[in-house]
Amino acid sequence: MEKLLRILAASAYGKAISPENLISDFGGGKEHAKRIGALFYSLAQKDPKTLAGCIFNQWREFFSESCDYEEGSGKLKRKKTLQKFCTDMGVPYKGVDVERLIFAVHTYYAFLIKLIAYAVIVSKKTNGGNPLSEIPIMTTVELRSHLKDLEAGERFTSYWGIRNFPEDPYFTWYLHVWNDALADAVRRLADTLSEYDPATFRVKPEGARDLLKKLYQFLIPGDIRHDLGEYYTPDWLAELTLDRVGYKGKAKERLLDPACGSGTFLVLAIQRKMQYGRETERISDETLMKSILETIKGIDLNPLAVTAARANYIFAIDEILHYYPRGREIPIYLADSIYPPQSSNDVSNPNVRRFHTVVGDFEFPIAVSSEAGMSWLAQFLHDHIEKGFAFDSFVEKLKLSKKYLDDELFDDSGEASEVNVEILERVYNQLTELKNQKRNSIWATIIKNAYMPLFLKGFDFVAGNPPWVNWESLPDGYRKETMHLWADCGLWRLKKKGGMETILGKSKRDLSTLMLYESMRRYLKDGGRLGFVITQSVFKTGAAQGFRHFRILTDHRSKEIPVRVESADDFTDFQPFEGATNRSAMIVLRRGLPTTYPMKRYTVWQKLPGKSLRAELNLTLEEVKKLTRRLPYHAKPVDAKDKTSSWITAREKALDALKKVLGKSDYQAREGVNTGGANAVYWLKDVEPVGKDPHTGKQLIRALNLTEGQKSGIRQIHEPFLLEEELVYPLLRGRDVQRWRAKPSAWILMVQDPKARRGIEVLKMQREYPHAWSYLKRFEDELRERAAFKRYFTRKDKNSRKAVETGPFYSMLHSTPESSSIGNWRSYRRRRISSLTVRNGRNLPRWRRR
């Protein structure tokens, strides 16, 4: 009855803050999205000499490390959906800059989040009314000042004492290019948003976390989000993960999500802690608030995700917000949980940790060793630089404020050590110079957040859904910086220094595996449990052999700590994620205990016949359980002498029976030819011979490129084109194979030198294969845009720092002498393995080979 009365009362005063209403007013294709989207796109800058340009370039660097950004943006340029997306955001499609488009859309979405949070949180303090109603009557100058205060967090600090919301260094850039047109667009948007009643937000607090998620899903089309590697974890899967690790929400239980996204795991953990604290521990709301802030923390590298996660965190504690301790931060940080600032390798300067940005490297004293100390020092630096204080004055005031640093920078006499003063002076001078260039205001915030993972340790639980980003899709610089971590974690071995094995090697490794091992090492206490949603391939594939050693090294790499697999859940029978094709699973590990086999808690989830488990249905865990059956399997290494070998999984009795037939395989599996994401260029159809070329004397064939079923967006050539017959081979796909039989249904253009492992030399192509050369030139831009080509066939010149190509633009991957040998074939894309022996057919004309 009470909830019904609240609903009736709220609906009487204005629109409900619901996903449906917000999408109707502010979603893609709506007036506000088009107007502000177009303005943000046109005003976004890349010039590093301006603050707005610096912000954009730093955002690109951060964002590209958190998702399949480079590969995804390359796909988007060829995707038909992009045209509609541009139209929906008011941006011209022709010649669109995809990076600027994504940046503009993220800025728009972040702006909406902050206005919604402002309306909800401030109205709670003022007991009604929508504070956004004052914006439409402001002048351009007044509005900029108002938004500057909002972006700086002044409103949230003054009303509730929240220090770091929004604390958004990336999506405040619009204030530095402010103009009348943008002010008018903001006034109109705020006028519409002021029609909403903030009180309706509290009618169904359990649905608050869905609000921002659904708004973003409808703002950016699904296939565009997915190309960027953005998938939301369904609540039921997050609930199951928390169940599996044993998180109940006790007051002293500490939990970290090192890739928190928009905060799904954190919000569910808060709800558990509130319920357990009230119903079981019977603690006060004030104690409960302190417990939540001290024990539930998150990290993410995506600036937009952090803004959304902080908002969702605040919404989750809305019921007890009156007990928020003034001056405390929302414990969610914009940082790299895998590779935070590193100690200097310079023996003459060992007392610093270094952090790289687009405006230079910043160094902070190792002596700063706490969250509170780093947060306070960064703000103290920023405030004194903005006010124009000399460094000597800063140091004197620092001495008077040393209580905030817990004596971290000071010796027994109360003086700051000479070494630490020198380090701080360098930072102070750097930030002062940036201020003089009008490129400051954001760096102290970025630096503070970046260092926070260094101080987050000793968690009882680490839980989350790490980014499933393939090694080959990571930025080149990030791969080089983190290469030693992959080796230290045992995830791979470098075979040839500088050789293709080093670069390609086991290139199908995933960033999620590195995050898993680094999270256990950095953040989990001995005896603590980690639960990650992860790809099922880590259990079954040879490429994941390093993952299955299940041990970690201490910080100084001097001691090995065993890790026990406590449970695994296999979801390969259905897809938990909207629009995804990955084979999903979940693993729970415990630090400090060895793994023993058979592992007796391998649960296979199977969808019941006729039931729907679509991710967009927002099912609860109990609903998913009713729609599935769960088979209790055991798991063990297929090779009893090698505990890192692939797992074999089956019911207990079946596993015992399989011992009799297990043995070492006579075959070595290799990946077939990989086009690097351009199948629609290399795959051919309607192939037929047409005679010889009168100039080269080579046999020619006529063909069309095969675009059906391809996701790359590469255009179809409608007129048949000529190719040299000796470069065209039968293409064997999974659909072409049955037991004892293979019948290719397509062809592939092979322009690779398998020994050199790059494309046939350009001069040779032009001289001996002019028709193939002419055909490939039609797709030169698309082939150069392939993420795989940029990764493996370009490098930066040491002097100019420009990209230099190390192979022709049509180079392919994984084409070795074995690719064309007689051998055993099997499909790796099909659930049921089909295998047979195939020949290369050297005694037949290539266009006829079967």
Examine the domain organization and report whether 8 and 157 are in the same domain. yes
Examine the domain organization and report whether 418 and 272 are in the same domain. no
Final residue belonging to a domain, choices 631, 661, 691 = 661
Q: Number of H helices and number of E strands within the chain? A: 31, 29
> Is the residue at 460 inside a domain?
no
pLDDT digits (tens, 9 = 90+) for 302-341: 999 999 999 999 999 999 999 999 999 999 999 999 999 9
Query: What is the per-residue pLDDT for 255?
Result: 99
Examine the domain organization and report whether 315 and 362 are in the same domain. no
Examine the domain organization and report whether 444 and 480 are in the same domain. no
Phi first, then psi: give them for residue 644, nearest 5 degrees. Answer: -95, 0
Give the count of domains, the chain.
5
Q: Using CA atoms, how far apart are residues 398 and 414, in angstroms rounded to an integer?
A: 11
* Boundaries of domain holding 800: 679-848
Examine the domain organization and report whether 297 and 421 are in the same domain. no
Examine the domain organization and report whether 125 and 22 are in the same domain. yes
Query: What is the per-residue pLDDT for 4?
Result: 44
Q: Using CA atoms, how far apart are residues 169 and 186, in angstroms rounded to an integer?
A: 20
> Is the residue at 674 inside a domain?
no
Query: What is the per-residue pLDDT for 419?
Result: 85
Ordered DSSP codes for 758-818: EEPPHHHHHHH-HHHHHHHHTTHHHHHH-HHHHHHSEEE-TTT--EEESS-TT--BS--GG
> Is the residue at 521 inside a domain?
yes
Which residue, among 442, 440, 418, has the nearest Cα to 429 in the 3D structure? 440
Asked, as a colleague might, if the bond just before 598 is cis with ω within 30 of 0, I would say yes
Query: What is the per-residue pLDDT for 826?
Result: 47
Query: What is the per-residue pLDDT for 290?
Result: 98
Examine the domain organization and report whether 625 and 496 are in the same domain. yes
> Is the residue at 371 inside a domain?
yes
Query: What is the per-residue pLDDT for 426?
Result: 94
> Is the residue at 121 inside a domain?
yes
Examine the domain organization and report whether 833 and 764 are in the same domain. yes
Low-confidence ranges of the chain (pLDDT < 50): 1-12, 494, 496-507, 821-831, 841-850
pLDDT digits (tens, 9 = 90+) for 682-695: 999 999 999 999 99
Query: What is the per-residue pLDDT for 531?
Result: 99
Would you say 701 and 725 are in contact if contact means Cβ atoms under 8 Å apart?
A: yes
Examine the domain organization and report whether 14 and 107 are in the same domain. yes
> Is the residue at 672 inside a domain?
no
> Is the residue at 227 inside a domain?
no
Examine the domain organization and report whether 501 and 577 are in the same domain. yes
Examine the domain organization and report whether 499 and 371 are in the same domain. no
> Is the residue at 198 inside a domain?
yes
Give, for 11, the enclosing helix (H) or strand (E): helix 2-11
Examine the domain organization and report whether 486 and 595 are in the same domain. yes
* CATH number assigned to the domain comprising residue 287: 3.40.50.150
